[in-house]
Structure 1
Amino acid sequence: MSKVWFVTGSSRGLGRGIVEAALEGGDRVVATARRPAQLEDLVARHGGRVLPVALDVTDNDQVQQAVQQGLAAFGRLDVVVNNAGYADLAAVEDVDLADFRAQLDTDFYGVVHVTKAVLPTLRAQGAGHIFQVSSIGGRIGSVGLAAYQSAKWAVGGFSTVLAQEVAPLGIKVTVLEPGGMRTDWAGSSMAIPPVSEPYRPTVGAFADLLRNAAALSDATGVEAAEPAKVAQVVCDLAGREDAPLRLLLGSDAYRYAHQAAQVLAESDEKWRHVTDSVSA
């Protein structure tokens, strides 16, 4: 049976890839974006099976309206993909607090808004699958990305709790944690303001690395994960009973995650005598 998808951040990158893969598979899609006009070519190709909807995930009222538009058009929701998000790079001392909050509003609270809006429908159906597009940045820390990675760590914690709450209701939750992908995440999508002098050896060097990586990807397409392959993985996993709670995507994501886990385990063991010393 064909599925009905609700996808945020559908205009480009991974979100666009997921929408296209779902449509190619014969499903119907509520494709949301800040500028839905960018999805008109999909309507031309797929007609009424795709519903472009204007959506800013930071606006909870708009989120509720978008969900209702999708239900009015297709009658149900089977798969929800929280993909909308972005990253700007700055040292914690340098970052403007308004910019920090704006990233959290989109990258974390946007996920909360959409999740809460769809849960009554999924619960009434007794079925559904929510995909949260996080990042390897939800398992590690990278200089300059405090706002973005704080949001991704929050998405991981939120989704871990959510999965336990909704599993008895027939609802699945999967957190996608890709590493590098062939998108413009570190290109035109990322703002990198000037880095103050004390942080140039750390944040500045990382900013240069990201700029060079984006340029290399534009020129050669060399990064760890292909968005089309990730999109197909999402389509293949949708609705599966054995779908994982957290899924690393890309060989670099696996490598970084396991390096971080090893460092943490070694620290825990080194300081275990202090840990145990406070127990009765």
Structure 2
Amino acid sequence: MTETYFVTGSSVGLGRSIVEAALAQGHNVVATARNPAVLEDLAARYSGQLLAVRLDVTDAEGARDAVRQAVDKFGRLDVLINNAGFSGVGSIEDMPLELIEAQLSTNFLGAVNLTRAVLPTMRARARGRILLVSSIGARIATAGAGVYYASKAAVSALAETLALEVGPLGIQVTAVEPGAMRTRFAEAGSLQVSPFGPAYEATVGTTIGMMQSPEYNNILRDPDGVAAMILQVAALDDPPSRILAGADSFEMGIGSGDARRASDLHWEKLSRSATVEERLLSA
């Protein structure tokens, strides 16, 4: 069945791969980007299926207008894929507040803006799917990526809560948590490096040095596989509220969960001591 997809951050990388995959499957696609001109080649090949819209996801009114254009063009929206985002790396102490705010605004509030914009039309039809592209960073920690990972942890938490709120209304929600992809860091603007002090050379500096090495880009996965998986998730009858994407992401996610559980159990007595009843029982 032909459906209508709404994809943010469609100009490069994973977003572009999602758009191409959905079009190839015969779906209608509303592809948004700050510069939709980069989608002209796809518009020429899929003129009846593709609507390219200029959008800055941090603009809430712009998000609502883009959704109106989508419904006017195709009559409905079936799937929203919140993909727009970027990464800034550097120490939390030294990173400019503007870069911190920009990541939270684009990666998290941008997803909120689009989600709020599509919910009225999805509620009216009592059906729809919302996929939020998060990151394995929502489950692990890496020196230098604290703010980016914090924004993605917020996205995953949003998805879990939203699934509880709108699931009874016929709307399914999933956060997809991939590892690093080739174009996420290779494309201009996807990675911004913030200066950091010498105290962080061994931690933050090591992370950034790895990301900037020629070898690093060669080992990153191509986004096409993640895009194909996302379309499979969008077609599930009963999708999870969070799902890992990629073998490396799966291994890191499971390992992180095991380590967190072990830590919680190790500190169980101290944790329980915060409860009055537990203190009385141990007296």
Distance 1:201 1:240 in 2: 44
1:127-276 equivalence runs, <5 A = 127-185=127-185, 188=188, 189-212=190-213, 215-216=214-215, 218=217, 220=218, 222-223=219-220, 225-276=221-272
Quick check: 2:132–2:175 contact (8 Å CA) kept in 1? yes
CA apart distance, 1:217: 5.2
Quick check: 1:180–1:250 contact (8 Å CA) kept in 2? no
Quick check: 2:159–2:242 contact (8 Å CA) kept in 1? no
Distance 2:145 2:180 in 1: 15
1:199-235 deviation per Cα after TM superposition (whole angstroms, max 9, x unaligned): 11100111001112xx2255x4x32x43112111122
Count how many residue pairs are aligned between Structure 1 and Structure 2.
275
Instruction: Kindly indicate whether residue 45 of structure 2 is the aligned counterpart of residue 45 of structure 1.
Output: yes
Distance 2:49 2:102 in 1: 33
1:55-134 equivalence runs, <5 A = 55-134=55-134
Distance 1:186 1:255 in 2: 24
CA apart distance, 1:160: 0.6
Q: Helix, strand or coil: the match of 1:94? A: coil
Following TM superposition, the consecutive aligned residue runs of length 4 or more in structure 1 with deviations greater than 6 angstroms are: none
Distance 1:238 1:192 in 2: 33
Q: Which amino acid aligns with 1:252?
A: D
Quick check: 2:130–2:172 contact (8 Å CA) kept in 1? yes
CA apart distance, 1:187: 5.4
TM-score, normalisation: structure 1 = 0.95
The match for 1:35 is: 35
1:22-56 deviation per Cα after TM superposition (whole angstroms, max 9, x unaligned): 00000000000000000000011011210000000
Quick check: 1:237–1:243 contact (8 Å CA) kept in 2? yes
Distance 1:217 1:26, change over 3 A: farther
Q: Helix, strand or coil: the match of 1:48? A: coil
The match for 1:22 is: 22
Distance 1:97 1:278 in 2: 35
Distance 1:131 1:73 in 2: 22
CA apart distance, 1:76: 0.1
TM-score, normalisation: structure 2 = 0.94
Quick check: 2:12–2:187 contact (8 Å CA) kept in 1? no
Quick check: 1:180–1:252 contact (8 Å CA) kept in 2? no
Q: Which runs of 5+ in 2 are unaligned?
A: 278-283
Quick check: 1:5–1:78 contact (8 Å CA) kept in 2? yes
Distance 1:187 1:30, change over 3 A: closer
Percent of residue pairs bearing the same amino acid type:
44
1:88-125 deviation per Cα after TM superposition (whole angstroms, max 9, x unaligned): 11101101111100110000000000000000011111
